[in-house]
Amino acid sequence: MVDFETFLVSLEENHDMSLTLSYDVAIREKQSEKVAEALKYNRRLKELHINRSGIGDGGVLFLCEALKVNQTLTELSLRNNSIRCLGASYLSEALQANKTLVSLDLGGNFVGDEGIHHISSALKENVCLSSLSLRSNHIGNLGAGYLARALELNSGLEVLDMRSNNIYNLGTMTLIESLKSNSSLRELKLDQNPFDCVGISLLSDCLSVNKSLTKMSLVSCAIGESGAIHISDALAADSRLRSLNIACTNLGDIGVGRIGEGLKLNSSLEKLILDGNRVADVGIVQLASALSCNGSLTELSLSHNKIGHEGAKHIALALEKNGNLAKLSLNGNRIGDAGACHISKCISSNKGLLELNLSCNNIGKIGINHLVKGLVPNYTLIELQLDWNRQVSLEKVHDILERNDARRREKFAATLSGDEAIPWNRSRIMFVGEGKVGKTATVRSLHGEPFISEWDSTIGAALSRIETCPFGWSTVPCREPTENTVKFAAQIVLKGNTDLQPHIAAETLKFSNGRNYRPVVLKKLQEASKIFTTTPGFSKSQHDTLDTRNRKVMLNGEMKEVCVEYEDEVGISKIPANINSRLFFDTKKEARKLSLSLWDFGGQEAFHAIHHILLTESGLYVLVFDMREIIHANNKEARDNLAFWLRSISIHAPGSNLIMVGTFCDSVEGAKDLERVDSNVRDLVELYSIIENTNSGLSFFPIDNKSQKGILDLRLNVEEIIRSDTAVKQPVSIKFIRFLDSLLSFREDHKYIRYSDAVHVATTIGLNTNEVDEALLLFHQRGIIVHLNATEALKSIITIEPQWLIDGIAVLIRDFNIHSYDVAEIKQSGLEDDMKNLVEKGLASRDLMEYLWHNFEFDYFLDLMQKSLLLSEWNFKQEKLYLIPSLLSNESMVKAKPNNGSIISFDFSESFLPSGFFQRLVCLCVEYSSMKSNSYELKLPTVRGNLASIDFGTYKVQVMQGENAVTAAVTPNDCGAVASTALSAMINKINNETMHGRLKWTVKLDGVPISAEDPASDEFQNDYCVDLGIFLQGLV
């Protein structure tokens, strides 16, 4: 926080991304104007906090004028600034114009009901704001009503803070009713509002309908025993709530008992706060009973109640059975020494509890001794708080917790250097379908982002990431982190807590009495030192270090202080000291989390050619289509497009999970239209395996991205499908995760690395070549890297920035009618004719390619696209060009048999002819002709999207693409057999390298069936074909 002058200078200089003005620094109207003027032109600031500065409505006016034009600010806090109704009207206008602000805090002002009327009007239009705090703003039932009507239409707001207002039952009723149709709100805070159990009953009914709300806070609301019944019913109905704070709500024993009954049937709640509810031993019985069987709760707080030793006994018995609870707070109760004795018994056997707070519980020396005895066999508890108890020494407790810390580090280090494996919970979702059907809008909806009607179509593919645990999805940065090993190791340690038992070996460690020992813990830490120095995320500059010179370790049941002598001080000193309760607690909470890579593929035909690079056999495919096109009377094109995608997925990913999603649900009229769509879809998928929408009895999932209809159900079904995928459950070695982090650490300087370099890195981790290939395939299938292994040349490159690769390819392969370049800029560069040649003839000059790839690595992309058969050299008449057939448009084909020529037909109707296959055949033909031009005077090839006439020197071929067939007309007639041999070799190469060898076809020469296999070796002895074999081998 800074004074006003410093604050204003920072704002004007445009350097900082976050600015906070010091509290109680008054801003006069003239100063507000200066701040607003600076904000208009600031292009860097993301967060602005002006709290308790008295800017009032006048100051807000200036700020709002700036907000209308500012395009960078995402978070604005104006707490305690005497903003009233007029200021709220200014903010309303700004929110309707601003498209970047996602968080607005207006807490502690005087907005009132009429002010909320203005803000609610903005919320009906604004889809960008995701967090709004209106805490302590004198809002009553009328204001709640205004807000409710806005929530019915709003699809962007996720967090709403309405604490400390004047909302009674009537206002609660209108607010809650709106949540039945709202599907975006995730967190609602209604603390300290004067509604009672009637409002709570309405809230309970809403939770049974609403499927998006995951966090709720009702602190100091008059819930009481009656309201607890409704809360219990909501929990029993297994609502989507993951966090519930009902502290200080006058529940009493009966109310908490009711909550316990609901918890027995609940499988979603992870955090429950019951502080200050006058709970005594009687009320704990039901809660403890629920705790013994509940498998979802990880955090429970019962602080500042009246729990005595009997209540502690019931809790202890429950913890002997419950291994999921990680954090328990009993701070400010009355358990005493007897209660500590009961708790100590459960501590000795419980392997899940990480943090326990027993502060202020009148525990004396006897209780502490019992806790020490319970801690001796426990190697998992990280934090035990015993503050404000009777004055006794806690040295023994601290010693044991230090011992636990050493054991945990030992296990952590051993895990890093070991080869233990657990499920990774990682998968990939691929969104495919034609252009403009709503794929990107569907991805945005799954991310929780608002619908934007005017959205540019995807070029190539767009990557994003989501992390999801049951009942909640959250967007995370697309760029893969490089600290995966730390969390993965923590997961293994938590899963293997029962193995954290003491094992002492005698060997060279000096005590003051001269005896020499060396505990295994230090040996393993030293063995792991190299791991920490090579694992990304571990460095002395980023972490505190572990002091291993003077340490207390457990030897033969006794704590001994040791002075360690070791050869490599630097290695051990790099062990990070922040292996603490937060790391393990967060890891435990995230145990059920899935990490998903989302790939949104461009639907234009030009992009079909790159599918073999990007489509993988593992993951979930989401085939998106526009239902309006299916119910149209003339729906042949829409049906054909769906059939194409179904066939394409069956070739590239047979046996993969596939669901179909129909968009624009709100434009489809009723059940009859849905039935028509379903009937059409069922006809198409009859030969394919898809996962149906069993909840609605449909073969697909109907959604509407604008109204968010069906989005939550789609989320839940997608998550269920992925969680049941055997590939996701497959254990993955921690060595693989270390290898991944090592690969990704190269991204600071490189977008790709050589396979040989990856093997070298893997060798230091302990992976052999077969394991390297297995790991790279896993990372490729999960969408983290791109590694093609169809040929040795492709295998030699590992792309560690997939979006960079896609963007680079899409520089050339795109639909120029939709995604064109700046004509003026191209003209200014002197490449106007080159661009025209590319767009019209599919021929790219080296100068143009270097210009378009100026932000990429030219040689890398040229080599990759040539080896992937996406382009070919065009070396005719001293022209050095490159042909990209996928850019060419089709034209009417002539099927007449040429004079004195032969006809070769390749019939793919047994499988199908994928998009991009013919273009790759043209690439091979043109490049082979280019090679032959060194020996012959050849006619320049004529190439279109579905037709090519190519001169091979001794014979000429006209190849044509039909529906599931390729036809070749060959002249002269006596070269038909040679041409069929050459074309068969090329087709086999394309099938094996880009279609996984899964295509099937028959070959006829002048109507007579011949072999479709690779040509026999004796055929290649023909002078016409011997150089073809050399040519094809040269492309490997």
Closest CA to 308 of 327, 345, 344, 282: 282
Nearest CA-CA partner of 560 in 500, 518, 501: 518
Residues 6+ apart with CB under 8 A from 679: none
Contact (Cβ atoms closer than 8 angstroms) between residue 899 and residue 969: no
Going by their DSSP bridges, the two strands 879-883 and 872-876 should be labelled as antiparallel
Measured CA to CA, the distance from residue 672 to residue 401 in angstroms comes to: 66
What are the CA-CA distances from residue 708 to residues 61, 283, 297, 474, 664 (Å)?
A: 34, 42, 30, 16, 10
Q: Which of 602, 597, 599 is nearest to 460 (CA)?
A: 602
- Tell me the two tokens of residue 461: 């593919």
Q: How high is the pLDDT of residue 137?
A: 96
ω into 972 cis (within 30 of 0): yes
Cα distances from 481 to residues 461, 478, 735, in angstroms, run 21, 9, 16
The two structure tokens encoding residue 353: 């509890």
**pLDDT (mean) for 413-434:** 92
Residue 338 pLDDT > 90:
yes
Q: Return the structure tokens found at 522.
A: 């230090």
Whether the pLDDT of residue 511 is over 70: the answer is: no
Secondary structure of residue 405 in the 3-state scheme:
helix
Query: Model confidence over 770-794: pLDDT tens digits?
Result: 999 999 999 999 999 999 887 888 8
Residue-level pLDDT at 218? 95
Rg (CA), the chain: 34
Low-confidence winner among 509-523, 687-701, 870-884 (lowest mean pLDDT): 509-523
- Indicate the pLDDT class of residue 1023, thresholds 50, 70 and 90: very low
What mean pLDDT do residues 869-896 have? 80
Q: What is the pTM of this model?
A: 0.79
Of the candidates 1033, 1035, 924, the residue with the CA atom closest to the CA atom of residue 987 = 924
Closest to 180 (Cα-Cα) out of 146, 142, 213, 140: 213
Q: pLDDT category, 3, cuts 50, 70, 90?
A: confident
Identity of the amino acid at 637: E
Q: Is the dihedral of CA 386, 388, 391, 395 positive or negative?
A: positive
Q: Does the pLDDT at position 976 exceed 80?
A: yes
Is pLDDT of 516 > 80? no
124 vs 632 pLDDT, higher one: 124
Beta-bridge mates of residue 843: 883
Interatomic CA distance for residues 443 and 718, integer angstroms: 12
Q: Where are the beta strands (DSSP E) in 800-922?
A: 843-845, 872-876, 879-883, 902-907
663's CB contacts (< 8 A; 6+ apart) are 437, 438, 441, 442, 624, 625, 626, 627, 703, 704, 705
Cβ neighbours for 946, distance < 8 A, ≥ 6 positions apart: 890, 891, 893, 918, 960, 961
**Axis-axis angle for helices 581-589, 484-495 (nearest 10):** 80
Copy the structure tokens of residue 259.
């909550």
Say what the alpha-carbon torsion angle 994, 999, 1003, 1009 is, to the nearest 10 degrees: 150
Element (DSSP H or E) covering residue 551: strand 550-555
Residue 211: pLDDT over 80: no
pLDDT digits (tens, 9 = 90+) for 947-965: 999 998 889 999 999 888 9
468 contacts 596 by C-beta, under 8 angstroms: yes
Tokens 């509604």, located at residue: 195
pLDDT value at residue 635: 85
Secondary structure of residue 239 in the 3-state scheme: coil
User: What span, in angstroms and rounded, lies between the C-alpha atoms of 1019 and 979?
Assistant: 11
- Please check whether residue 196 is in contact with residue 222, taking contact to mean a CB–CB distance below 8 angstroms: yes
Residues contacting 509, CB < 8 A, separation 6+: 516, 517, 518, 519, 522, 562, 564, 565
The answer for residues whose C-beta is within 8 angstroms of residue 779's C-beta and 6 or more apart is 740, 743, 785, 787
Higher pLDDT, 499 or 293: 293
- Are residues 214 and 243 in contact, defined by beta-carbon separation less than 8 angstroms? yes
Identify the DSSP state of 892. P
Which has the higher per-residue pLDDT, 878 or 825? 825
Q: What is the C-alpha separation between 1009 and 905, in angstroms, rounded?
A: 9
- How far is 199 from 197, CA to CA, in rounded Å? 5
Question: In this model, does residue 555 exceed pLDDT 70?
Answer: no
Task: Write out the DSSP string of 406-456.
Answer: HHHHHHHHHHHHS--EEE--EEEEEEE-STTSSHHHHHHHHHTPPP-SS-P
Average pLDDT over residues 993-1005: 90
pLDDT bucket at 469, cuts 50 / 70 / 90: low
Structure tokens of 813? 């392969």
What letter would DSSP give residue 184?
Answer: -
Tokens of 11: 């704002």
> What local confidence, expressed as pLDDT, does residue 303 receive?
97
Q: How far apart are CA 541 and CA 603, in angstroms?
A: 46
| pLDDT at residue number 879 | 73
Tokens of 771: 């394991």
Q: Confidence class of residue 472 from pLDDT cuts 50, 70 and 90?
A: low
Q: For 672-717, how does the pLDDT look when each residue is reduced to its tens digit (9 = 90+)?
A: 899 999 999 999 988 788 999 998 899 999 999 988 889 888 998 9
Contact at 8 Å (CB) between 193 and 162? yes
* Cβ neighbourhood burial of 972 (10 Å; 0-12, 13-18, 19+): middle
- H helices present in 844-933, as ranges: 846-852, 858-867, 917-932
Which among 1024, 297, 900 is positioned nearest to 1015, based on CA atoms?
A: 1024
pLDDT band at residue 815 using 50, 70 and 90 as cut-offs: confident
CA distance 512 to 515: 8
When pLDDT is averaged across residues 324-336 and rounded to a whole number, the result is: 95
- List beta partners, residue 943: 948
Give the residue with greater pLDDT, 529 vs 710.
Answer: 710
Close Cβ partners of 154 (under 8 Å, ≥ 6 residues apart): 123, 124, 126, 127, 182, 184
Question: 634 Cβ partners below 8 Å, 6+ apart?
Answer: none
Distance CA 779, CA 732 (A): 11
